[in-house]
Structure 1
């Protein structure tokens, strides 16, 4: 009994020193008082719904985590002294608002991990010590403001900096030597920077430096150095001698240029001869009964260096697929289906074989041969009606190829957002989402050791076969994709926990399933999956949540769904499932078993189910009232 009493006393004493959500609520109200045009924060102060349900508040496991006040038209003052009183403020975002003046003194917030100030009207020079002491800061987004002066030295010295985007300002001077090397986001474009690019940044994308006319050096054009001046003499230089020296320098430069041109020509000839021997050129190998390639039909050519690797053949993962030769595949007439962040996708039409899909990957270069073979063989052993089966793979040093079956009816995205968008009726959409759920459930059971069994679940990676059965594509690739590329492009890393805490969870794929459900029902593209979502005012989950919680207005369900009337009640049930999968809190977000079970219960028609209530309006109103405690948010693109 004495021990229990002592424990209770210690627990009470400990909690007394922890700032409560109630304390944070008062601080937030004080912070709001410095803002102008804050109508979007009208529910701040509502104690019945709790601080974590206030607009723009980020919570994790019911603990305050950060502020996300984006696209709200806010102005006034960002009072840093008030923010300093908030417990656990890790992330601060005011993207796309109307804040003006110099950058606030964020260096007081030494525990801040992410700062997003892009698309405002901040201006003036940023002091050199503006980021001093912010040793935990990882993400700095200052793009599309009016900042001037040189890049602050304290920014380049941040020890944990991973993302920096300052494009669209008026920064000038030389680019300082960044101490960081492994950037996920790096963008200095469209400023007034000049001088040579530091060698440590020479491997960056050239687009990171675009719009700075004074920059030179790799990865841009080489800097043109000035000729070395003649030695300074105490006597006045003789003009005739100076002219002679100039002529000699010009002659020497001409000789050097000629030698370089000759060497370049020889290398080019050698390279052409090498390519003729090693590369498979469609023009020379095109069969007579195949239409020559046009601008819409290309060949699948593996680079010469890749073909020189130790595995110059296709590796089949099953015994039931034989007869496809690598050279035959590379010669085949190939239609480009798409080109995404991982590489190009081709529809290859073999002369004496099936139509297949070939995906080229250039971001698996860190994967060793043994590891790649083992993982591909593991994927090849998977067998489920709702997975697009892997037929074969090719391992090269610079790129890899994955060969799959071809799905006759294209991707779900093309049906929802293509030229004939919205043509799928409710029965087909229900069939598709049930297939997606079953395929995802199979992946969860086959990969219990992985946090992301799929990792890249989105509408363009759901393909439809001849009977409109859903087949999941690009699944199970997280272990073999370069980590930095996965974090930047794979949609599971756009979930709240991955975006804010920089690590995915076992429910990150479920977040993607929820987004896919909302996309299927609303017909709207989920803009939060765009890498540079400048045109999007908010993401899909937040938009649906705002309408549902404010009272149904009939704007959520896609009015163009054929056969919608008889199944609207079931569609609302699916909407409820989608929102359950998009819960911000991991504890509140549905698990995969619950989500799949609820999806399986859905019917094509309301008459086949047990929908309660009378009119559609009553049903939809009950949905809105039952979801008042949802606190949906979204990830920063």
Structure 2
């Protein structure tokens, strides 16, 4: 047996062992729901689309395996998402189409040609995202949408909707757009709807009231009554009677004429008053917007793309653009704070060597948008670089509560943790200041520059070092924190939150913030809330961090983007499910990233790390190892002696598809002992 067989046997042993653990421990008893399948079949019949007719057959989803149908998302065997975008779909969707899909979380038919009235979503209380934009739906906006307490995004632009906007007042709703329809009436004055900008309501000519600039005119309309024809005079009636009647009619005509004149005068007066009020209102609105317009002109002059007082929806749209470096002068900066409002409070007094005014004058470069807020790199005049994070969606709390929580976070000192340097707190702005990590983050190190000439291969020793640093930081958080139920020590561990300093040392950031963020935002965005236990029982714990760490290890080993931590606009895969499927369908050559699979001497360590990752990703939290055990296991994995180019060649045990599964079974298991 050649030297490659040992690695092949070890891989089979890893996967057989992990599969046996799952069988012994049991998985979630899900199966498929016949009502859900029938509902999807009815939807397919309405579309009658050739591709869906061919693809939507058989079982749509099973347990936690990847969905079998295109555009369908599943968790625990239940349909949680229907995403059919840009497919040229036609047909009419029935009013009660989704009544038998109670676990539906996301729905998108963006940019198709669907017709009919909007559906009833009263049975879909788990919905967080609805996108029906770019279709031909008509009629009113369904009142059932206003009853969805978890709704985060609602996009209905580009249809033929009519009637008034329902009173949406969900505090979770942060993306909303009903532009390019035929809606009418006064926009409800709920706090949620009034928080969006005019862009959310554009091209609805009959829509009025703030936040639009269209005023609502309350005018009374005069009812017109149909006059009845007077009866014909009998023959032989005297001229005197006729003259008397004409005189009476003339008398009434004078009275009506007087009423008409009075009415005309009243209309003229009302029109004059309206014109005067309208002019005053325009002047008032012009004065109100004067400062904002001046700031926008200044931003255009210096090419600052981040508006100081932008609304959340404008920020979400703006984050899709590429950040651009800009020099910000004057008293305001892109961070939104003013010098007169307060001072920076340093967590470590020994490093308090700059003030808020220094930040306001600094060169600012956008680094991106995270769930806790937008981040900027600020280059101070003395050459020092720091990162400023504008916090958003915080729980209501006082200055003292905010300070107490930050002190608790900053007190968790460790070589592999990046604590905040300082904070700024005011009614309208909350800022955190960190030291700048010169060598970027782990996500960019794994995935950035793939296929480019400037790409430096990310070899096994560096990946093992990153895994160790992250584990040491997480183990320290677990050992030091005294988290209550529902709070995890980190809560949002993912590759973009693993940073590298100037010396290449690992630094973990964005930890301990679960108690600061509003619950709906945390549940929708933070990594720990995507764990199997939260999806099934709405519970998280320290072991949710362990699951996040397992997903991080699989991303390190495979070089593939995890679906749970993929940045906005980037797609990924459920790596744990994908690894099992790779073995079952006999394409294990795809598991390991080619940048490390070529290192023959690293194969044993890679296989051991894969086994550890799968244990961390176990669906049952009680079967996952503690972080202390993970640290000990990683310490026993030795780096390879050499990573010279001469030592690089493909290990057939990891890349030869013909031999990827032949070691599975009793014989392979026996030889691996």
When the two structures are superposed, what TM-score results if normalisation uses the length of structure 1?
0.69
Counterpart selection for 1:72 from 70, 73, 86: 70
Give the structure 2 partner of residue 441 of structure 1. 475
Structure 1 unaligned residues grouped into runs of 5+: 1-19, 45-54, 60-66, 75-87, 275-280, 284-293, 627-637
Give the structure 1 partner of residue 213 of structure 2. 222
Give the structure 2 partner of residue 56 of structure 1. 61
- CA–CA distance in structure 2, aligned partners of residues 251 and 352 of structure 1: 62
1:410 maps onto 2:400 in alignment: no
Give the structure 2 partner of residue 367 of structure 1. 397
Deviation at 1:432, TM superposition (A): 1.1
Change in Cα spacing, 1:352 to 1:517, as seen in structure 2 (3 Å) is same
Give the structure 2 partner of residue 64 of structure 1. none
- CA–CA distance in structure 2, aligned partners of residues 382 and 21 of structure 1: 37
- CA–CA distance in structure 1, aligned partners of residues 204 and 143 of structure 2: 25
State whether residues 62 and 77 of structure 2, in contact with CA within 8 Å, keep that contact through their aligned partners in structure 1: no
- CA–CA distance in structure 1, aligned partners of residues 292 and 128 of structure 2: 44
SS in structure 1 of the partner of residue 131 of structure 2: coil
Counterpart selection for 2:431 from 398, 401, 416: 401
Give the structure 2 partner of residue 551 of structure 1. 586
- CA–CA distance in structure 1, aligned partners of residues 602 and 610 of structure 2: 12
Counterpart selection for 1:526 from 558, 562, 571: 562
Give the structure 1 partner of residue 498 of structure 2. 462
Give the structure 2 partner of residue 489 of structure 1. 525
- CA–CA distance in structure 2, aligned partners of residues 162 and 253 of structure 1: 40
Counterpart selection for 1:599 from 634, 637, 643: 634
State whether residues 452 and 505 of structure 1, in contact with CA within 8 Å, keep that contact through their aligned partners in structure 2: yes
SS in structure 1 of the partner of residue 407 of structure 2: helix
Q: How does 1:68-107 map to 2 (within 5 A)?
A: 69=67, 71-72=69-70, 92-96=80-84, 102-103=93-94, 105=96
SS in structure 1 of the partner of residue 421 of structure 2: strand
Residues 379-413 of structure 1: CA deviation (Å, up to 9, x unaligned) = 22222111113222111212212122222212222
State whether residues 179 and 202 of structure 2, in contact with CA within 8 Å, keep that contact through their aligned partners in structure 1: yes
- CA–CA distance in structure 2, aligned partners of residues 252 and 565 of structure 1: 87
Give the structure 1 partner of residue 616 of structure 2. 581
When the two structures are superposed, what TM-score results if normalisation uses the length of structure 2?
0.66
| Aligned pairs, number | 548
Give the structure 2 partner of residue 566 of structure 1. 601
Residues 269-297 of structure 1: CA deviation (Å, up to 9, x unaligned) = 899999xxxxxx9x9xxxxxxxxxx9444
- CA–CA distance in structure 2, aligned partners of residues 21 and 470 of structure 1: 36
- CA–CA distance in structure 2, aligned partners of residues 403 and 26 of structure 1: 50
Counterpart selection for 2:421 from 391, 404, 412: 391
State whether residues 566 and 572 of structure 2, in contact with CA within 8 Å, keep that contact through their aligned partners in structure 1: no
State whether residues 373 and 390 of structure 2, in contact with CA within 8 Å, keep that contact through their aligned partners in structure 1: yes
Residues 455-504 of structure 1: CA deviation (Å, up to 9, x unaligned) = 22222221101221110111111111222332333333333443555553
State whether residues 376 and 388 of structure 2, in contact with CA within 8 Å, keep that contact through their aligned partners in structure 1: yes
Q: How does 1:146-545 map to 2 (within 5 A)?
A: 148-150=137-139, 153=142, 155-156=144-145, 158=147, 162=151, 165=154, 167=156, 170=159, 172-178=161-167, 181-184=170-173, 187=176, 189=178, 192=181, 194-195=183-184, 196-200=186-190, 201-206=192-197, 209=200, 213=204, 216-217=207-208, 220-226=211-217, 228-229=219-220, 235=256, 251-260=272-281, 263=284, 295-298=325-328, 301=333, 312-352=342-382, 354-364=384-394, 366-419=396-449, 420=454, 423-450=457-484, 451-499=487-535, 501-530=537-566, 536=571, 538-545=573-580
SS in structure 2 of the partner of residue 390 of structure 1: coil
- Identify which range, 349-358 or 233-242, moves more after superposition: 233-242
SS in structure 2 of the partner of residue 479 of structure 1: coil
- CA–CA distance in structure 2, aligned partners of residues 259 and 154 of structure 1: 37
Deviation at 1:436, TM superposition (A): 0.9
Deviation at 1:247, TM superposition (A): 6.2
Deviation at 1:526, TM superposition (A): 2.6
Deviation at 1:581, TM superposition (A): 2.7
Instruction: Select the structure with the greater relative contact order (CA < 8 A; seq sep ≥ 6).
Output: 2
Change in Cα spacing, 1:39 to 1:28, as seen in structure 2 (3 Å) is farther
SS in structure 1 of the partner of residue 529 of structure 2: helix
State whether residues 306 and 399 of structure 1, in contact with CA within 8 Å, keep that contact through their aligned partners in structure 2: no
- CA–CA distance in structure 1, aligned partners of residues 339 and 349 of structure 2: 24
- CA–CA distance in structure 1, aligned partners of residues 530 and 258 of structure 2: 67
Query: RMSD of the TM alignment (CA)?
Result: 4.9
1:114 maps onto 2:116 in alignment: no
